[in-house]
């Protein structure tokens, strides 16, 4: 257990180093930050001074090392555009993102898991056909289209929900549905396939041959095995949502990390972009680590060594 954790943590650190290094280099290649910060009529000397003040005249590797050193202490740099610390900006937006991500995620699981099981048990029925068709459409329809359609119908036409913004429960419904639908479509299809595979497994036949009740065969012998691939996929979905539902947050003017990132890119707020990317990557790595730990609980074949 301990060795497994150490190894996974080491891998996580390597992943984060690679991500941070790549964004750092790419960010520096897209243009001179000094040109962005300094007023247009600034003199060469003033710009040079600013460069020196910000430490941008040092070799790239030195700049990167000090960035990582600061990041480890929770300091992700300073956004000149917003005149605020990057970590403060992210932390400020994090609650909104987490709220949306978890609402959408839970909504997606609540739809996908029971529905996937139901249509697997009633495969080739009308329900199966309907649900798989809708899931197929849901999976192929882009987020911005679903979001806009929901706004057009519920906010503009029926006028029962707000168009966008952040506030009470009514504000989260449409964006949560938007992010949940795609995720639910993917998970439903996977749940169905996984359940069908398990229902055909030899050990399910064995369970039936012992005269166990149908519900025991289903919930004890089939369900847990069928959940194994779902856990991986659900972990990835959640990580993606926390890392930033960029499009959905932008459509619904949801003040989360995703929208922060989009604005940062527009304004070429390089330290902020870098901070958000690092944050998203960390979320990904941490959730994957949790998924691995969860595996140990469901699948005894997974050994922690």
Please count the other Cβ atoms lying within 10 Å of the Cβ belonging to residue 30: 10
305 makes contact with other proteins (CB under 8 A): no
- Please list the alpha-helical segments (H only) found in the chain: 2-29, 33-37, 44-54, 60-72, 86-121, 126-140, 143-150, 169-199, 202-209, 214-216, 224-243, 246-251, 257-266, 270-298
End-to-end CA distance of the chain: 6
Single out the residue of 92, 208, 219, 286 in contact with other proteins (rule: CB under 8 A): 208
> Contacts with other proteins in 211-240 (CB under 8 A)?
211-214, 216, 220-221, 224-225
Sign of CA dihedral 54, 278, 70, 18: negative
What span, in angstroms and rounded, lies between the C-alpha atoms of 242 and 287?
A: 10
Of the candidate spans 101-109, 112-120, 135-143, 209-217, the one that interacts with other proteins by CB under 8 A turns out to be 209-217
Residues 116-155 that bind other proteins (CB under 8 A): 123-124
Q: What angle do CA 191, 193, 195 make, to 5 degrees?
A: 65
Applying CB under 8 A, does 75 fall inside the site for other proteins?
no
Binding to other proteins by residue 28, rule CB under 8 A? no
Q: Which is nearer to other proteins, 4 or 64 (CB)?
A: 4
Binding of other proteins by 206 (CB under 8 A): yes
| x/- letters, 161..180, toward other proteins (CB under 8 A) | --------------------
Cβ proximity of 23 and 278 under 8 Å: yes
If one asks whether residue 209 binds other proteins (CB under 8 A), the answer comes out as: yes
Per CB under 8 A, residues contacting other proteins are 123-124, 200-203, 205-214, 216, 220-221, 224-225, 298-301
């Amino acid at each position: 257990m301990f060795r497994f954790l150490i190894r996974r943590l080491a891998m996580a650190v390597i992943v984060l180093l690679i991500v941070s290094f790549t964004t750092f280099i790419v960010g520096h290649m897209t243009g001179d930050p000094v040109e962005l910060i300094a007023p247009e009529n600034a003199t060469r000397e003033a710009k040079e001074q600013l460069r020196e003040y910000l430490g941008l005249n040092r070799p790239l590797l030195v700049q990167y090392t000090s960035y990582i050193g600061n990041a480890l202490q929770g300091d992700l740099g300073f956004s000149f555009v917003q005149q605020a610390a990057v970590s403060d900006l992210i932390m400020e937006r994090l609650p909104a993102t987490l709220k949306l991500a978890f609402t959408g995620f839970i909504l997606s699981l609540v739809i996908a898991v029971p529905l996937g099981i139901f249509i697997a048990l009633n495969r080739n029925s009308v329900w199966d056909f309907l649900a798989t068709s809708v899931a197929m459409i849901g999976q192929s329809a882009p987020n911005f289209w679903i979001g806009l359609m929901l706004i057009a119908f519920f906010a503009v036409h029926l006028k029962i929900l707000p168009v966008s913004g952040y506030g009470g429960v009514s504000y989260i419904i449409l964006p949560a549905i938007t992010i949940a639908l795609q995720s639910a479509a993917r998970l439903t299809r996977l749940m169905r396939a996984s359940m069908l595979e398990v229902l055909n497994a030899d050990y399910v036949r064995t369970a039936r041959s012992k005269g166990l009740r149908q519900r025991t065969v289903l919930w004890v012998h089939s369900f847990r095995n069928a959940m194994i691939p779902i856990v991986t996929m659900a972990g990835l979905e959640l990580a993606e949502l926390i890392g930033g539902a960029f499009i959905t947050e932008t459509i619904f003017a949801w003040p989360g990390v995703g929208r922060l990132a989009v604005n940062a890119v527009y304004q070429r707020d390089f330290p902020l972009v870098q901070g958000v990317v690092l944050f998203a990557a960390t979320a990904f790595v941490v959730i994957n680590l949790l998924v691995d730990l969860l595996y140990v609980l469901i699948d005894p074949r997974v050994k922690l060594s």
